[in-house]
Structure 1
Amino acid sequence: MKTKYIIYTALALLVAYLVYNKFFSKAAKESAAAQAGGKSGKKKNGPVNVNIMIVKDTAVNNIIDVTGSIDANEKVSLVSQTAGNITGIYFNEGSKVQKGQLLVKVYNQDLEASLQQNQYQVTLAKQVEYRNKVLLQKEAISQEEYDTSLTSLNSLKAAADVIKAQIARTEIRAPFSGTIGLRNVSPGSYLSPAAPIAQLVNIDPAKITFSVPERYLTILGVGSKIRFNTESSRENFTGTVYAIEPSIDVNSRTITVRAKAPNPKGLLTAGSFAKINLTLDQIPKTILLPTEAVIPDLKSSIVYVAHNGVAVSRPVKTDLRTDTRIQIIDGLKPGDSVVVSGLIQMRPKVPLKINKVIK
């Protein structure tokens, strides 16, 4: 029993010695201090690996991206000016028609008969007027009698013009060349005035209508070029500005612009949505940085510049933006070394280790 207690006591002393030697001895304390000092020094004093870009002047096109809509060059809903039964339809839905082509005819036989009757009367009145003219020259009749025959002839001619105008109203013709849409009438049906017959569209060239901010009014003009694309086609299209609204929208502070684009293949459809790339002018000398190098701040924006091996924050003013770059108009000069990577770790006076220089 006594031997058992001696063994337990010896084991307890051995465990106590091992614990002391591991955590509380002088060597253990020195090792822990060295490790802590190493970590602290690495976090505080270790340089950050970065890439830098040498600032230089660059020429850049002043391009803005806006959205707009595609409209037909000419578009009209065909209607009749007179009432009557349709006696003929002379177009196919979705077909091309030429200006002046007869599209629909309304019953007009009564008018044709009236015109024919009038022509007989005109012929007779011409003969009477001619005879009276000869007699007047021979002084066989008075001037009054001749004037009466001449007035009768002119009245009949005027009546003929009225009948011809009424007949013209019974014929619906294409006011311009284009593509005709779906018809809303059938042969034999009764056509009322202003009832829609079909829609006629001319979309070559196509009109592109869009709005731009007021600030670009002075550098945008007739003749400016645009590039655009649509959801329905993978092709890129070009157009030319031909008209600008003379007043600015007071709510959006934008101005409406309209351009024309050739559409010989019919790939552009009226009502489509257009994504427009508008080139306004070219800036010959300016500074462009990658967008990720510019850090938004409360009052402005900042970049970090490498100077004497450490990071220095520099407030900058920005202007134009693209998908990948941003224009710096103040705060940098050519030759500055701007940090373009490792920005999460950037702080003023952080030591830097430059891995790559972008020129």
Structure 2
Amino acid sequence: MKTRYIVYIALALVVGFLIFNKLHNGKSKEASGQAAGAKGGKKKNGPVPVKVMIVKDTAVTNNIDLTGTIDPNEKVNLVSQTAGNITGIYFQEGSRVSKGQVLVKVYNADLVASLKQNQYQITLAQQNEYRNKVLLSKEAVSQQEYDTSLSNYNSLKAQGDVIKAQIARTEIRAPFSGVIGLRNVSPGGYLSPSTSIATLVSTDPMKVTFSVPERYQPLIKPGSKVSFNIASSRENFTAVVYAIEPAIDQTSRTVTVRARAANPKNLITAGGFAKINLTLDQIPKTIMVPTECVIPDLKNSKVYIAHNGTAVVRPVKTDLRTDTKIEITDGLKAGDSLIISGLIQMRPKVPLKIVKVIK
């Protein structure tokens, strides 16, 4: 019995020791946690190192980057107004032609013969009209006989004009000066009004067509200059706006603009892709700050400035944006110390340690 009691007492002592040890360790950890919390709180309440930028007025050119398409000034698919065999082709593929130059001729010998016959008839009718006019003045013929001869003369002249128009349609001429493309016909081939002869384009000047967001429409006017470049050349080109679409596209909410670009060296190719830089206007005096400094809010945007060693929040209004900066139209003034780093830790009245000042 005594041995059993001794075992019970030993077990009770072991259990008591374990309980005491656990409670002692828990208090030590709690004390350590409080000490660490006290140290952390002290660090949290310390000044936040920040960089500040001195706000100043600056001049800004409002540019936007767009894409556009290059088109020739004029472009036409040459076709014939009459059908017939081709008797002559008078142009070289890819060459420059002048306005009015004969490019293709269609068989017209029958029409030429008809015109020649008509000219003989006109000569005879003219002489007959003249004789009857003289006789009428002498009352040797009636007014009706003279009117008949005059009508016959005028009718033959009208027939001659019709034949001349038919002959003119057998000659396909260049409607404007430009460069002619690859031909689709051959000498002796049959040409119909549905047959494409070649494409004629006017390459100087060239047209640049692009779309501008609706908000910028009031800033685009005829005479505005546009800078652009193309993949096939390293040169920078300039175009001048000459036409603006009067209606806004309801799908994209953009307005279509067209400009002309001089192309004396034929460096600009029709159908190409243009990277456009459009200068909208120049703001002579405004405030531009780094975009990351402006913190969006539910109602407006805000920034933090350094004042008397602490952070002060300022609500601001913004407008123009570039790749790296944003315009502040209200809320900042020249001379303010704008905080540009450590913004995640910013709160009103947070103490600051300014490590760098950017002027």
TM-score, scaled to structure 2: 0.84
Unaligned ranges ≥5, structure 1: 1-23
* Deviation at residue 138 of structure 1 after TM alignment: 2.6
Q: How many residues align?
A: 331
Aligned to 2:9: none
Aligned to 1:140: 140
Aligned equivalents of 1:231 and 1:315: distance in 2?
44
Per-residue CA distance 1:23-72 (angstroms, 9 max, x = gap): x9xxxx9xx99x96897378425544433211122222222222221111
Aligned to 1:235: 235
Amino acid at match of 1:57: D
Residue 260 in 1 paired to residue 260 in 2? Answer: yes
Aligned equivalents of 2:345 and 2:202: distance in 1?
60
Aligned to 1:40: 40
Aligned to 1:331: 331
Task: Between 193-202 and 308-317, report the one with greater CA deviation.
Answer: 308-317
Amino acid at match of 1:223: G
Aligned to 2:317: 317
Aligned to 2:244: 244
* Deviation at residue 203 of structure 1 after TM alignment: 2.3
Amino acid at match of 1:40: G
Between the aligned residues of both structures, percent identity stands at 76
1:341–1:232 distance in 2 versus 1, CA, 3 Å:
farther
Aligned to 1:9: none
* Deviation at residue 291 of structure 1 after TM alignment: 2.4
C-alpha root-mean-square deviation of aligned residues, in Å? 2.6
1:347–1:234 distance in 2 versus 1, CA, 3 Å:
farther
Amino acid at match of 1:195: T
Aligned equivalents of 1:42 and 1:71: distance in 2?
69
Aligned equivalents of 2:189 and 2:39: distance in 1?
94
* Deviation at residue 289 of structure 1 after TM alignment: 0.7
Task: Between 152-161 and 202-211, report the one with greater CA deviation.
Answer: 202-211
1:146–1:269 distance in 2 versus 1, CA, 3 Å:
same
* Deviation at residue 159 of structure 1 after TM alignment: 0.6
Amino acid at match of 2:307: H
* Deviation at residue 254 of structure 1 after TM alignment: 2.0
Per-residue CA distance 1:74-96 (angstroms, 9 max, x = gap): 11111111111111111111111
Q: Secondary structure of 1:73's partner?
A: strand
Residue 291 in 1 paired to residue 291 in 2? Answer: yes
* Deviation at residue 349 of structure 1 after TM alignment: 4.3
Q: Secondary structure of 2:88's partner?
A: strand
Aligned equivalents of 1:246 and 1:232: distance in 2?
32
Per-residue CA distance 1:213-249 (angstroms, 9 max, x = gap): 2222333222222222222222211122111112222
* Deviation at residue 296 of structure 1 after TM alignment: 3.9
TM-score, scaled to structure 1: 0.84
Q: Secondary structure of 2:335's partner?
A: coil
* Deviation at residue 119 of structure 1 after TM alignment: 1.1
* Deviation at residue 346 of structure 1 after TM alignment: 4.3
Aligned equivalents of 2:175 and 2:43: distance in 1?
80
Aligned to 2:304: 304
Aligned to 1:70: 70
1:314–1:69 distance in 2 versus 1, CA, 3 Å:
same
1:300–1:273 distance in 2 versus 1, CA, 3 Å:
farther
Per-residue CA distance 1:236-281 (angstroms, 9 max, x = gap): 1112211111222222222222111211111222222222222222
* Deviation at residue 117 of structure 1 after TM alignment: 1.1
Q: How does 1:162-173 map to 2 (within 5 A)?
A: 162-173=162-173
Aligned equivalents of 2:78 and 2:347: distance in 1?
71
Aligned equivalents of 1:298 and 1:235: distance in 2?
46
* Deviation at residue 197 of structure 1 after TM alignment: 1.0
Aligned to 2:14: none
